[in-house]
């Protein structure tokens, strides 16, 4: 299965480059059923974007499957786990290659269903609640895709690729664009649906690496890129810009107050997703896709390295228990450090080629100065929590139990991480040369050009000060502030209460008031008793005909003489 995914990745990348060079786009339709003029057709879209994305997803999935061989070796149902991961990848393939909304919905629902099964894989109370919360949030996106499908019945086809080019002037297509935008921000965990992404960390680490790098969370960004022409035509990009900036600020600040190592990486993913949607909303659609691919490579490596650390630390996820990991895990620590530096945009790492270009492109022209001040502040927060992550993991002493036996010499894990290290270092330059058709001409001042690097070093300095500030300033009520920012400004409780607790309570109240209240007496039960009593009276008449008729006769005679 792993070899099959690697072959798909290689073939997809080569074909993607060929399609990009010659500007090819193929739509293949397979007639599954033809009954008396009723056609059931499966359509597949092949262009450079879908093929390159397909190759990246296939490559990362093959590395994660090899990684899972050792990571899940102690599990009794390892084969079930591998099949669920493969179903997850197939659903992503279906979503990427779909030119119509019906097949996109199939892939979208497949991702949601399999992600729920993988999150509740360990079958405990925390994973069950996290899986339900994730499923409820993603079902909101399903509802809006269904609304878009029902509205596109007016056009006679669900092939959105034609309408985004030739029917943008129609006011009806505005609703379709709004529905797709809302569905995309639910999948990409933008505010107010951002709380499900850290909650999904209850899944095994290989699943987290797959979900948060190249599949579920990037499906929303990919769908926005496909609908980018209609998003810009109806000026919905301004709303996306505000949503992405708030999400970046929210997640970047929350990661600086989080102590769960997997949640820190999840919040960094949330920040990077906001970064992609931001650059897409200011017009850099190709740049957003470029950063999506680069982010998938180094974030999968980061999750896999963190998984090795957790696996060898007795499944401890509190970052304060780590320390001096470079001495115990030299290879894994090198992989983690490379991925973190790539996420920060350190020069000549893969993340530098996309992040630096995106920042310079956004500075060259855009909405307002305030937006770019917030953007650079969020970039500083990214460097700040990355430095905090490096400090806790690689500095100091190990604070866990001394009984742990550290061992990273698992050939499967090391090969899978080595396959991603190469692309985390060289993938940014290689992809930039391959998929950016024309070199971006950036014309900005020397001050703005150097500002990106200044923000990087300033974020490191603030992160160092933040650690000392937390340790020395005892009067600061750190616990309440940590609870506020660590829960994304209580967004977890607001969205979970609004999407789960409030509807369930409303349904329970209506059940008590109506089904067990007045509706119990005047509804179905009341009708039943009325008919039962009425038919009982008729049955009584039938069984006692002579006596009843005599009584009625006497009653009419008395009434007759009384009226006379």
- Whether residue 268 has pLDDT greater than 60: yes
- How far apart (Å, rounded) are the C-alpha atoms in residues 282 and 301? 29
Q: Is-contact 275 266, C-beta < 8 A? A: no
| Residue spans per domain, the chain | 1-200+217-228, 235-300+312-401+410-471, 517-563
Task: Quote the pTM value.
Answer: 0.81
Of 45-59, 121-135, 419-433, 510-524, where does mean pLDDT reach its minimum?
510-524
If residue 166 lies in a helix (H) or strand (E), which one and from where to where?
A: helix 160-166
Q: Residue 51 is encoded by which pair of tokens?
A: 């093929």
pLDDT digits (tens, 9 = 90+) for 167-177: 555 566 788 88
**Averaged over 254-266, what is the pLDDT?**
81
| Residues, the chain | 564
φ/ψ of residue 351, rounded to 5: -70, -20
- Whether residue 81 has pLDDT greater than 50: yes
List CB contacts of 98: < 8 A, sequence separation 6 or more: 43, 44, 45, 104, 106, 107
- How far apart (Å, rounded) are the C-alpha atoms in residues 286 and 275? 13
Q: Give pLDDT, residue 479.
A: 53
553 against 251, higher pLDDT: 251
Q: pLDDT averaged over the chain?
A: 77
- Whether residue 450 has pLDDT greater than 80: no
25 against 534, higher pLDDT: 25
Q: Give pLDDT, residue 32.
A: 77
Q: Give pLDDT, residue 523.
A: 66
Q: Is-contact 354 287, C-beta < 8 A? A: yes
- Whether residue 500 has pLDDT greater than 70: no
- Whether residue 469 has pLDDT greater than 80: no
- Whether residue 472 has pLDDT greater than 50: no
Of 15-24, 302-311, 467-476, 518-527, where does mean pLDDT reach its minimum?
467-476
């Amino acid at each position: 299965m792993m070899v099959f995914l690697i072959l798909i990745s290689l073939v997809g990348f080569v074909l993607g480059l060929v399609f990009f060079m010659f500007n090819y786009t193929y739509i293949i339709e397979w007639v599954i059923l033809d009954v008396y003029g009723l056609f059931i057709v499966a359509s597949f879209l092949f262009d450079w974007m879908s093929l390159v994305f397909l190759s990246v997803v296939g490559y990362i999935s093959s590395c994660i499957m090899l990684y899972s061989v050792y990571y899940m070796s102690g599990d009794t149902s390892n084969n079930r786990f591998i099949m669920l991961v493969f179903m997850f990848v197939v659903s992503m393939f279906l979503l990427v290659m779909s030119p119509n909304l019906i097949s996109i919905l199939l892939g979208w629902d497949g991702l949601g269903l399999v992600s729920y099964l993988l999150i509740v894989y360990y079958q405990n109370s925390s994973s069950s609640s996290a899986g339900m919360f994730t499923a409820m949030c993603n079902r909101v996106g399903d509802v809006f895709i269904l609304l878009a499908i029902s509205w596109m019945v007016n056009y006679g086809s669900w092939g959105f690729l034609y309408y985004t080019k030739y029917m943008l002037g129609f006011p009806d297509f505005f609703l379709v664009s709004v529905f797709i935008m809302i569905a995309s921000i639910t999948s990409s965990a933008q505010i107010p649906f951002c709380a499900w992404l850290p909650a999904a960390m209850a899944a095994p680490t290989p699943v987290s690496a797959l979900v948060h790098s190249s599949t579920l969370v990037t499906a929303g960004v990919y769908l926005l890129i496909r609908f980018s022409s209609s998003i810009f035509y109806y000026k919905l990009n301004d709303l996306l810009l505000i949503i992405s900036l708030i999400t970046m600020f929210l997640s970047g600040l929350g990661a600086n107050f989080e102590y769960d190592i997997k949640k820190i990486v999840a919040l960094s993913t949330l920040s990077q997703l906001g970064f992609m949607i931001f650059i897409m909303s200011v017009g850099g659609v190709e740049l957003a896709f470029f950063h999506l691919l680069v982010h998938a490579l180094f974030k999968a490596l980061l999750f896999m390295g963190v998984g090795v650390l957790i696996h060898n630390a007795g499944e401890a996820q509190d970052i304060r228990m780590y320390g001096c990991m470079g001495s115990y895990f030299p290879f894994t620590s090198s992989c983690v450090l490379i991925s973190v530096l790539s996420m920060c945009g350190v020069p000549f790492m893969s993340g530098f080629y996309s992040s630096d270009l995106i920042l310079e492109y956004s500075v060259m022209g855009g909405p307002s100065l305030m937006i770019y001040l917030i953007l650079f502040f969020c970039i500083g927060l990214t460097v700040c929590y990355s430095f905090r992550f490096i400090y806790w993991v690689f500095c100091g002493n190990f604070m866990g139990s001394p009984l742990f036996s550290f061992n990273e010499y698992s050939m499967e894990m090391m090969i899978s991480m080595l396959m991603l290290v190469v692309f985390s270092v060289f993938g940014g330059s290689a992809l930039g040369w391959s998929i950016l058709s024309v070199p971006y001409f950036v014309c900005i001042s020397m001050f703005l050009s150097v500002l990106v690097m200044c923000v990087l070093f300033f974020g490191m300095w603030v992160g160092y000060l933040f650690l000392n500030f937390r340790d020395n300033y005892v009067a600061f009520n750190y616990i309440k502030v940590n609870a506020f920012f660590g829960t994304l400004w209580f967004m977890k409780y607001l969205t979970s209460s609004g999407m789960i607790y409030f509807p369930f309570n409303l349904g329970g109240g209506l059940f008590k008031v109506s089904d067990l209240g007045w509706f119990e007496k005047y509804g179905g039960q009341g009708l039943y008793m009325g008919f039962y009593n009425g038919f009982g009276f008729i049955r009584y008449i039938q069984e006692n005909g002579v006596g009843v008729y005599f009584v009625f006769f006497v009653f009419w005679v008395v009434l007759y003489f009384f009226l006379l």
